Protein backbone atom coordinates (compact mmCIF):
# COMPACT_ATOMS: atom_id res chain seq x y z
CA UNK A 1 0.00 0.00 0.00
CA UNK A 2 2.74 2.46 0.95
CA UNK A 3 4.73 1.60 -2.18
CA UNK A 4 1.68 2.19 -4.36
CA UNK A 5 1.02 5.55 -2.70
CA UNK A 6 4.66 6.52 -3.22
CA UNK A 7 4.56 5.62 -6.92
CA UNK A 8 1.34 7.60 -7.34
CA UNK A 9 2.99 10.62 -5.71
CA UNK A 10 5.92 10.32 -8.09
CA UNK A 11 3.52 10.19 -11.07
CA UNK A 12 1.90 13.42 -9.91
CA UNK A 13 5.26 14.98 -9.17
CA UNK A 14 6.99 14.42 -12.51
CA UNK A 15 4.89 16.88 -14.59
CA UNK A 16 5.51 19.63 -12.01
CA UNK A 17 9.27 19.30 -12.43
CA UNK A 18 9.03 20.76 -15.95
CA UNK A 19 7.42 23.97 -14.70
CA UNK A 20 9.36 27.22 -15.11
CA UNK A 21 8.74 28.04 -11.45
CA UNK A 22 9.77 24.66 -10.06
CA UNK A 23 12.87 26.05 -8.33
CA UNK A 24 10.75 28.46 -6.26
CA UNK A 25 7.91 26.08 -5.42
CA UNK A 26 8.14 25.60 -1.66
CA UNK A 27 5.32 23.05 -1.54
CA UNK A 28 6.98 20.92 -4.21
CA UNK A 29 10.27 21.03 -2.30
CA UNK A 30 8.54 19.92 0.91
CA UNK A 31 6.80 17.10 -0.98
CA UNK A 32 10.15 15.80 -2.27
CA UNK A 33 11.68 15.99 1.22
CA UNK A 34 8.75 13.96 2.62
CA UNK A 35 9.07 11.42 -0.19
CA UNK A 36 12.73 11.12 0.73
CA UNK A 37 11.68 10.04 4.23
CA UNK A 38 9.75 7.13 2.69
CA UNK A 39 12.65 6.32 0.38
CA UNK A 40 14.99 6.22 3.36
CA UNK A 41 12.70 4.02 5.44
CA UNK A 42 12.13 1.69 2.49
CA UNK A 43 15.82 0.75 2.25
CA UNK A 44 15.25 -2.18 4.61
CA UNK A 45 12.67 -3.53 2.14
CA UNK A 46 14.44 -2.83 -1.15
CA UNK A 47 17.98 -3.46 0.11
CA UNK A 48 19.37 -0.37 -1.64
CA UNK A 49 19.11 3.41 -1.49
CA UNK A 50 18.96 5.11 -4.88
CA UNK A 51 18.74 8.56 -3.23
CA UNK A 52 16.48 9.85 -6.01
CA UNK A 53 14.52 12.22 -3.80
CA UNK A 54 17.64 13.28 -1.92
CA UNK A 55 19.20 14.32 -5.24
CA UNK A 56 15.97 16.10 -6.19
CA UNK A 57 15.95 18.09 -2.96
CA UNK A 58 19.58 19.06 -3.48
CA UNK A 59 18.92 20.24 -7.04
CA UNK A 60 15.95 22.40 -6.04
CA UNK A 61 17.75 23.92 -3.07
CA UNK A 62 20.88 24.79 -5.03
CA UNK A 63 18.83 26.30 -7.87
CA UNK A 64 16.93 28.71 -5.66
CA UNK A 65 18.85 29.21 -2.43
CA UNK A 66 20.54 32.48 -1.59
CA UNK A 67 23.91 32.76 0.13
CA UNK A 68 22.49 32.84 3.66
CA UNK A 69 20.83 30.13 5.75
CA UNK A 70 18.40 31.00 8.55
CA UNK A 71 18.53 28.34 11.29
CA UNK A 72 15.33 29.66 12.90
CA UNK A 73 13.34 28.23 9.92
CA UNK A 74 10.88 31.12 9.38
CA UNK A 75 9.25 29.42 6.36
CA UNK A 76 8.61 26.14 4.55
CA UNK A 77 11.72 26.35 2.37
CA UNK A 78 14.01 26.87 5.36
CA UNK A 79 12.33 24.04 7.26
CA UNK A 80 12.75 21.74 4.24
CA UNK A 81 16.42 22.69 4.03
CA UNK A 82 17.11 21.57 7.61
CA UNK A 83 15.25 18.30 7.12
CA UNK A 84 17.37 17.78 4.01
CA UNK A 85 20.48 18.55 6.06
CA UNK A 86 19.70 15.81 8.56
CA UNK A 87 18.90 13.37 5.76
CA UNK A 88 22.28 14.16 4.19
CA UNK A 89 24.07 13.68 7.50
CA UNK A 90 22.52 10.25 7.95
CA UNK A 91 23.61 9.08 4.50
CA UNK A 92 27.05 10.63 4.88
CA UNK A 93 27.68 8.71 8.10
CA UNK A 94 26.28 5.43 6.76
CA UNK A 95 28.35 5.59 3.57
CA UNK A 96 31.32 7.44 5.10
CA UNK A 97 31.20 10.26 2.56
CA UNK A 98 31.10 14.05 2.68
CA UNK A 99 27.52 15.39 2.90
CA UNK A 100 26.12 16.95 -0.27
CA UNK A 101 25.77 20.41 1.32
CA UNK A 102 27.23 23.76 0.30
CA UNK A 103 29.19 24.67 3.44
CA UNK A 104 30.15 28.04 1.92
CA UNK A 105 26.68 29.31 2.80
CA UNK A 106 26.58 31.94 5.54
CA UNK A 107 24.78 30.79 8.68
CA UNK A 108 22.71 33.57 10.29
CA UNK A 109 23.29 33.79 14.08
CA UNK A 110 20.40 32.64 16.32
CA UNK A 111 17.94 35.46 17.18
CA UNK A 112 17.69 36.95 20.66
CA UNK A 113 15.08 35.62 23.03
CA UNK A 114 12.02 37.75 23.80
CA UNK A 115 8.38 36.74 23.55
CA UNK A 116 7.18 33.14 23.27
CA UNK A 117 7.47 33.08 19.47
CA UNK A 118 10.97 34.57 19.60
CA UNK A 119 12.01 32.01 22.20
CA UNK A 120 10.80 29.16 19.98
CA UNK A 121 12.64 30.56 16.95
CA UNK A 122 15.76 31.01 19.07
CA UNK A 123 15.72 27.43 20.33
CA UNK A 124 15.10 26.14 16.79
CA UNK A 125 18.06 28.18 15.57
CA UNK A 126 20.39 26.91 18.30
CA UNK A 127 19.48 23.28 17.54
CA UNK A 128 19.94 23.76 13.79
CA UNK A 129 23.24 25.56 14.36
CA UNK A 130 24.58 22.42 16.02
CA UNK A 131 23.30 20.44 13.01
CA UNK A 132 25.35 22.76 10.78
CA UNK A 133 28.46 22.34 12.93
CA UNK A 134 28.01 18.57 12.82
CA UNK A 135 27.80 18.74 9.01
CA UNK A 136 31.14 20.56 8.91
CA UNK A 137 32.63 17.87 11.14
CA UNK A 138 31.33 15.04 8.94
CA UNK A 139 32.65 16.87 5.87
CA UNK A 140 36.03 17.17 7.58
CA UNK A 141 36.11 13.46 8.47
CA UNK A 142 35.03 12.06 5.11
CA UNK A 143 35.96 14.83 2.67
CA UNK A 144 39.30 15.65 1.07
CA UNK A 145 39.55 19.39 1.71
CA UNK A 146 42.43 19.09 4.19
CA UNK A 147 44.96 16.59 2.79
CA UNK A 148 48.07 17.54 4.79
CA UNK A 149 48.39 16.80 8.53
CA UNK A 150 49.03 20.41 9.62
CA UNK A 151 45.89 21.77 7.94
CA UNK A 152 43.80 18.88 9.28
CA UNK A 153 45.01 19.47 12.81
CA UNK A 154 44.32 23.19 12.53
CA UNK A 155 40.83 22.61 11.09
CA UNK A 156 40.01 20.02 13.77
CA UNK A 157 40.92 22.53 16.46
CA UNK A 158 38.68 25.14 14.79
CA UNK A 159 35.77 22.70 14.77
CA UNK A 160 36.43 21.77 18.38
CA UNK A 161 36.31 25.45 19.34
CA UNK A 162 33.05 25.89 17.42
CA UNK A 163 31.44 23.09 19.42
CA UNK A 164 32.76 24.46 22.72
CA UNK A 165 31.52 27.95 21.86
CA UNK A 166 28.06 26.60 21.04
CA UNK A 167 27.96 24.68 24.31
CA UNK A 168 28.93 27.74 26.37
CA UNK A 169 26.61 30.25 24.70
CA UNK A 170 23.50 28.11 24.10
CA UNK A 171 20.35 28.66 26.23
CA UNK A 172 20.26 26.72 29.49
CA UNK A 173 16.90 25.25 28.39
CA UNK A 174 18.99 22.69 26.50
CA UNK A 175 20.20 21.21 29.79
CA UNK A 176 18.61 17.87 30.73
CA UNK A 177 16.14 17.99 33.62
CA UNK A 178 16.99 14.45 34.71
CA UNK A 179 20.00 12.18 34.42
CA UNK A 180 20.39 8.70 35.82
CA UNK A 181 23.20 6.22 35.39
CA UNK A 182 22.35 2.77 34.05
CA UNK A 183 20.99 0.43 36.73
CA UNK A 184 22.64 -2.96 36.84
CA UNK A 185 20.23 -5.82 36.32
CA UNK A 186 17.55 -3.60 34.76
CA UNK A 187 18.13 -4.96 31.26
CA UNK A 188 19.08 -1.50 29.98
CA UNK A 189 22.85 -0.82 29.79
CA UNK A 190 22.47 2.88 28.96
CA UNK A 191 21.92 5.99 31.09
CA UNK A 192 18.52 7.69 31.22
CA UNK A 193 18.36 11.36 30.21
CA UNK A 194 15.21 13.52 30.12
CA UNK A 195 14.72 16.79 28.25
CA UNK A 196 11.76 19.17 28.00
CA UNK A 197 11.56 19.23 24.19
CA UNK A 198 12.26 16.93 21.27
CA UNK A 199 14.85 19.25 19.75
CA UNK A 200 16.82 19.24 23.01
CA UNK A 201 17.22 15.46 22.84
CA UNK A 202 18.04 15.76 19.12
CA UNK A 203 20.77 18.28 19.98
CA UNK A 204 22.28 15.82 22.46
CA UNK A 205 22.60 13.16 19.75
CA UNK A 206 24.12 15.59 17.26
CA UNK A 207 26.41 17.22 19.83
CA UNK A 208 27.90 13.85 20.68
CA UNK A 209 28.65 13.28 16.99
CA UNK A 210 30.78 16.45 16.88
CA UNK A 211 34.20 17.01 18.46
CA UNK A 212 34.30 18.60 21.90
CA UNK A 213 37.92 17.82 22.61
CA UNK A 214 40.83 17.16 20.26
CA UNK A 215 42.13 14.37 22.47
CA UNK A 216 38.91 12.36 22.08
CA UNK A 217 39.26 9.76 19.36
CA UNK A 218 36.72 9.31 16.60
CA UNK A 219 35.76 5.95 18.07
CA UNK A 220 34.88 7.41 21.47
CA UNK A 221 32.71 10.13 19.92
CA UNK A 222 30.90 7.66 17.67
CA UNK A 223 30.36 5.27 20.58
CA UNK A 224 28.98 8.14 22.66
CA UNK A 225 26.64 9.09 19.84
CA UNK A 226 25.36 5.51 19.58
CA UNK A 227 24.76 5.41 23.33
CA UNK A 228 22.64 8.54 23.12
CA UNK A 229 20.74 7.23 20.11
CA UNK A 230 20.03 3.86 21.73
CA UNK A 231 19.60 5.10 25.28
CA UNK A 232 16.60 6.69 26.95
CA UNK A 233 16.58 10.19 25.50
CA UNK A 234 13.13 11.37 26.47
CA UNK A 235 11.27 14.63 25.92
CA UNK A 236 8.68 15.65 28.53
CA UNK A 237 5.79 17.40 26.75
Count Cβ neighbours within 10 Å for each residue of 142-168 and write b for 16 or more, e otherwise.
eeeeeeeeeeeeeebeebbebbeebee
Separation CA 57–CA 50 (nearest Å): 13
Separation CA 200–CA 222 (nearest Å): 19
Rounded to two decimals, the pTM is: 0.78
The string of pLDDT tens digits covering residues 18-67 is: 887 888 888 888 888 888 888 888 887 777 777 888 888 888 888 877 88
The string of pLDDT tens digits covering residues 98-114 is: 999 999 999 998 877 66
- The more confidently predicted of residues 149 and 216 is 149
pLDDT at 115: 60
DSSP code of residue 103: T
Helix/strand number for the chain, H first, E second: 9, 5
What 3-state DSSP class applies to 107? strand
The string of pLDDT tens digits covering residues 162-172 is: 888 888 888 88
Among residues 203, 213, 170, the alpha carbon closest in space to that of 86 is found at 203
pLDDT at 116: 59
Separation CA 142–CA 37 (nearest Å): 23
Amino acid sequence: MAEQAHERCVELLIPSLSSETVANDDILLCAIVILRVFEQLNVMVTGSDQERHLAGSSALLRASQGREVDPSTPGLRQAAFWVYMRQCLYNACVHQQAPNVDLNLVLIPPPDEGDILSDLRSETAWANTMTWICATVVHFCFGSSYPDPSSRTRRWQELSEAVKSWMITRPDTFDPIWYSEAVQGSGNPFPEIWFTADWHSMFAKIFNSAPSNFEFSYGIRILSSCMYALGHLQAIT
